[in-house]
Structure formats: C-alpha cells, structure tokens
Structure 1
C-alpha cells in the first residue's frame, strides 16, 4: 500500500513533468516564424496564429499549476525545517542531564553498591541505600532511553527536512526551465503577431478573445463580494495581457479573477483549473453576475461573468483586458463562489 506522501510526490512529479511535456510538444506549433513562411493567404496565417494563441494559453495554465506545486513543496520544506529545529531543541534539553549522569558515581552501579555495603551501619540502612540506588539507576536508564528516542526523532526530522528541501529545489529548477522555454515561444508568437496587418491582428484577437463589447454602464451590481469583484475587474479593462501577471497594470486570465476577488476579500489561487474546483458549479442558464466562467477541456481559461451574457477577461498575448460575450468556443461551466 502506497503512503500518502509517496502518492503526493508522484502527483507532484506528474504535474511538473506534464508541464514540461506541454512546453516541449508546443515547440513546432509555437514557432510561427517558420510556420508563417508557409501560409499563402492571410486566412491561413490567422488560423495558425489562433492555434498558437490557444496553445500558449494551455502552457500558461500548466505553468500556473506547476507554480502552485512548487509553492506547496517550499511550504512543506519550511515546515519540515521547523520540525527538525524543534526536534533538535528537544534533544538539547537532555544535554545537562547527560553531563550529570556522566559525572555522577551512580553510573558505576557495582561500585556504588559496594560503597553502600561498606558504609551502611545496619541491615535496614543497607536496604534503604540499595533501594535508593535502584531508583537512581532506573531514572538514569529512563533518561538514557528518552535521549535515544529524542536523538532518533531529531535525526528523522532532519532527514525529512533535507528530502523536502531537495524536492522543492528540484521542482523549482524544473519550473524555471519550463518558464524559460515558454518565454521563447511567447517571444516567437509576439514577433509574428506584430508582422500581421492591423486587420489580421484584429481578426486573430476577435477569434481568440471574442468580439470586444462596450463595458457596461449603470449595470446593477449584486451585493457583497460578487459586486465588489465585478467593479474591480471592470476597472482593469484595457490593461495589457501578461503571463503570470495579477495586476495592477497587467493580467493573465486567472490573475485578473484572483485580483478582482482579492478586492472583495476573497483569496483565489492563481490558476484557472484550481479556481474551477472551488465553490458551486452552475450551468450557462444559471449564471449570475460574479460567477467565474471556465473554458476548454482541460480547463485553461477563466473569466468573470458580469451579467447580460457578458464577461470580463484577460485572454491572451496582444489582447488587452476586455468585456466580451460569454458564449464563446470552448465554454464549459460557471462556478459560484458565494451563496
């Protein structure tokens, strides 16, 4: 039977490895400089850019999940280091007792018993001295046993701390490599996006992010956290898209929703897939202002529903934060964070 720790470590490695695989698998797709040399029409070029933008979104989401895993590893390492320090401190408490035992003649039990026999003046006194010696010996043995147990605990805690620190460092190094590879793909995408005409850029942006709508004015705001989150998100319309950004001037999709709900006093993980597991799932027909809305399978995009069939979201590179229709390709479901 596998221990929970073993299962968790395997799941951690799987998430990090999947992120690396996605980055590697995208190498051909996200190298538009070579790919865009082949298209013979602007429509083909736009199609390639749309596909590349979608793949970047998947990679971004996978990096977010890996970041959460590494953050968890780092917390585990810090907790393990704290336990190791506490175990060592508990062991250090015994140091004065061990010195006293070493310096005491009671450690030489046979010599003490002979001395008791030679110095006792009666049988009763000898019995009392021998009983006292037995009690001291028992206390000494108990202390030594406690020290042994404390030392074993300290050694195990330190070994756990070392293993957790090594795992956190390995995860961090792998994540950094994945980020560096993803940044190359982003740079290639952005370079080729810039090569498109203004009309082609607009077409790609609309295909990927949906048609931009006028930010609603005088929209009835729901009470509480939902209303505060909507107001915060709408205030960011026009801000640029940037991977891993969560404000105040740039956002990615889950960065925007976590920023919006943070303004309402609710902390959300910076990951669309992690956010999709929160709250209560609702259908398209049940959507209410303030609900989170999720897209694609697996989940790789999130927006904030503002009502009247509209959402505000940060979609992808070259597409600023905007209000669009919620009815877009890849829609999956909504999530309500509060009743």
Structure 2
C-alpha cells in the first residue's frame, strides 16, 4: 500500500488521538511514530482497536454508574415527597393549637385555680390542662421532626439529582470522545488492503468459522432460556458491529449478549465486565451452549458459547457478528446465567 506524507499524518493523528483518550480513562499511552510500511500501519490499527475495545467497556461501566445515580435521585425524591406529605398531616393540629391560643380557650393554671368550685374540680381542670399541654408539646415536637426530615430528604434528593446530572454530562463527553475515535479507527481501517484488514480482524477477534444450524447448537443448552439465547444470537450473524448498540440492527459485544438473553426473558446489563460477574462460573471443560464467555483483563469482551469450541459474538469495530473459536487470545472465563 502506498503512503504519502498526508496519509502518514492521518495515521499518526488517529493513533495518537486514541492513545491520548486512553490516557484520560485508562493508562498513559506512549507516542507512536508514523508508520513507514503497510504492515506497521496495520499494527497501529490493531493496537488502536484493542484500546478502543477497552475504552468501550469503560464507557458502559460509566453508563451503569449513571443509571444507579439516577435511580438514587428518584428514590431520594420519593422519600422527600413522603416526608412532606407526613408534615402536611399535622396542619389541622397546628391550626387548632394556634386557634386555641388566639381565642383563649386553653385555660392557664391560675385561671383554673381561681375558677374552680371545689378541690375535685380543681384537680380535674389541672389534669386536663396537663393533658392539653402534653398533647400540644407532642404535636409541636412531631412537627419539628417532620420539618427537619422533609428538609433533609429534599436536600438529599436535590444532591442526588445534581450528581446524576453531572455524571450524565461526563458520560456524554466520554461517549463523544469514543465516537470520534471510532470514526478515526474505521477510516484508518478502510485504508488498509483487504489482506491487511483480514489480518487485523483475525488478530482482534479470531478467524471466522462455519456456523452450525441454530437448532443443533441450541440442543446442547442446559435449559430453554439458554437455547433461546443461542438461537437469537445466531440469528444476528452478519449484523454490523455498532459501538454502544444492543440491537436490533447492530451490536457491540455486550449488546449482543444482552439482546440474546432478553429474548429469553433474562435481563443483563450492557457491560462485559458486569456480565462476567453474573450467574455461576464454569470452567473451560464445563462449557455448554448459552454460557457467556469473557475475555481480557480487565474484562472488555464477551460472546455466547455455541458448542464445539465455538462462540458467536459481535467481534470488533468494522466487522459483523460472526462465529469464531472460543480459544482466541485473551480468554479469561465463562459464566452460566440460565
């Protein structure tokens, strides 16, 4: 592949930009020299692809954190509403106390002493005055506590909402950065020859293998949910890799597994790392169709095992959903979620 000065600058800019972004979120990257050969250019694209795969997973993790913060804000707001509703129930008692103080219907001890007709009458009036005073004190104490609780929970709700908004803004900025890097990576990938593209794809995701009939693969699943997930995933063969997507017309890796298991009525988070912690861990020798296999450390890729040492997965940027060997570089483990 021929390369001119402008092309070299584009290669360098794309890879350096990817490295710089990773430095913000992952670990500091090192500067890359402009490739002098097509082989070096392909290597840079491969390295950029691996960094973007890891960054893709970190953005998914951030999305889960934002969702948790948004839920916390919703819960805090509901608690504040409940506290304010409780405070509102004291309004009749507060009005009654205020009215009795204004009209003088609440007698003092002195008035009771002067106006009583007998010792028994005095004791009865004193007892009633004490009961009213105790009730008034109790209502005022409860009101003060309800006011404090309402103010505290409303402040918590407002703080949780502000945190969720700030986290969402940060996530949106990260997503925009990643999307820009994806665009650069795909442009660089398209400038490779067909042979170089095939080599880079094989290095990132493994060579494509023949897909078994969906019914055959699903037959070995441990249950109907896993069988449905296998059939659903295999039905997406050829669909494009779309960063951040969980279907129905394109997928990233955890989006495909999420989509496949959603068809079986099982909810999975849109995150490779989170999916790798669910269900029951299984060894390589115990793998059955439907098991989620995960890759790299930290985990940044997943697929669905379909038997005979193969898996179906959304492979990498620019490549469609396909079947490859489960023993590709970076295999870390597997979990059974159904």
Q: Structures share a fold, TM > 0.5? A: yes
Partner SS, residue 246 of structure 2:
coil
Closer, same or farther: CA 208–107 of 1 in aligned 2, 3 Å: farther
Give the gaps of 5 or more residues in structure 2: 1-20
Partner SS, residue 183 of structure 1:
helix
Closer, same or farther: CA 120–105 of 1 in aligned 2, 3 Å: farther
The aligned residue for residue 62 of structure 2 is 66
The aligned residue for residue 219 of structure 1 is 216
The aligned residue for residue 137 of structure 2 is 141
Q: Would you say 1:22 and 2:19 are equivalent positions? A: no
* Segment of structure 1 superposing worse, 304-313 or 176-185: 176-185
In structure 1, distance between residues paired with 2:258 and 2:160: 29
User: What is the CA distance between 1:123 and its match in structure 2?
Assistant: 2.0
The aligned residue for residue 240 of structure 2 is 240
The aligned residue for residue 47 of structure 2 is 51
The aligned residue for residue 330 of structure 2 is 330
The aligned residue for residue 11 of structure 1 is none
In structure 2, distance between residues paired with 1:188 and 1:272: 23
The aligned residue for residue 87 of structure 2 is 91
CA contact 1:226–1:289 (8 Å) conserved in 2: yes
Closer, same or farther: CA 256–27 of 1 in aligned 2, 3 Å: farther
TM-score after normalising by structure 2: 0.88
Partner SS, residue 219 of structure 1:
helix
Partner SS, residue 302 of structure 2:
strand
Q: Would you say 1:39 and 2:42 are equivalent positions? A: no
Partner SS, residue 251 of structure 1:
coil
In structure 2, distance between residues paired with 1:121 and 1:109: 19
In structure 2, distance between residues paired with 1:19 and 1:162: 33
Closer, same or farther: CA 260–28 of 1 in aligned 2, 3 Å: farther
CA contact 1:303–1:314 (8 Å) conserved in 2: yes
**Per-residue deviation, residues 202-246 of structure 1 (Å, max 9, x unmatched):** 222122111112211252422411111000000000001111100
In structure 2, distance between residues paired with 1:19 and 1:259: 28
In structure 1, distance between residues paired with 2:101 and 2:216: 87
Q: Would you say 1:198 and 2:201 are equivalent positions? A: no
User: What is the CA distance between 1:118 and its match in structure 2?
Assistant: 3.4
User: What is the CA distance between 1:26 and its match in structure 2?
Assistant: 6.0
Runs (4+) of structure 1 exceeding 4 A deviation are 23-29, 106-111
Count of residue pairs the alignment pairs up: 314
User: What is the CA distance between 1:159 and its match in structure 2?
Assistant: 1.5
The aligned residue for residue 228 of structure 1 is 228
* Segment of structure 1 superposing worse, 206-215 or 87-96: 206-215
CA contact 1:23–1:178 (8 Å) conserved in 2: no
* Segment of structure 1 superposing worse, 62-71 or 159-168: 159-168
In structure 2, distance between residues paired with 1:210 and 1:273: 21
Give the gaps of 5 or more residues in structure 1: 1-17, 30-34
CA contact 1:77–1:165 (8 Å) conserved in 2: yes
Equivalences for 1:132-281 in 2 at 5 Å?
Answer: 132-217=128-213, 219-220=216-217, 221=219, 222=221, 223-281=223-281
**Per-residue deviation, residues 287-337 of structure 1 (Å, max 9, x unmatched):** 111111111011000000000111000021111100111110101111112
User: What is the CA distance between 1:112 and its match in structure 2?
Assistant: 2.6
CA contact 2:22–2:28 (8 Å) conserved in 1: no
Closer, same or farther: CA 214–265 of 1 in aligned 2, 3 Å: same
User: What is the CA distance between 1:111 and its match in structure 2?
Assistant: 5.4
In structure 2, distance between residues paired with 1:110 and 1:74: 50
User: What is the CA distance between 1:156 and its match in structure 2?
Assistant: 1.1
In structure 2, distance between residues paired with 1:219 and 1:40: 48
Partner SS, residue 288 of structure 1:
coil
User: What is the CA distance between 1:120 and its match in structure 2?
Assistant: 2.1
Q: Would you say 1:76 and 2:72 are equivalent positions? A: yes
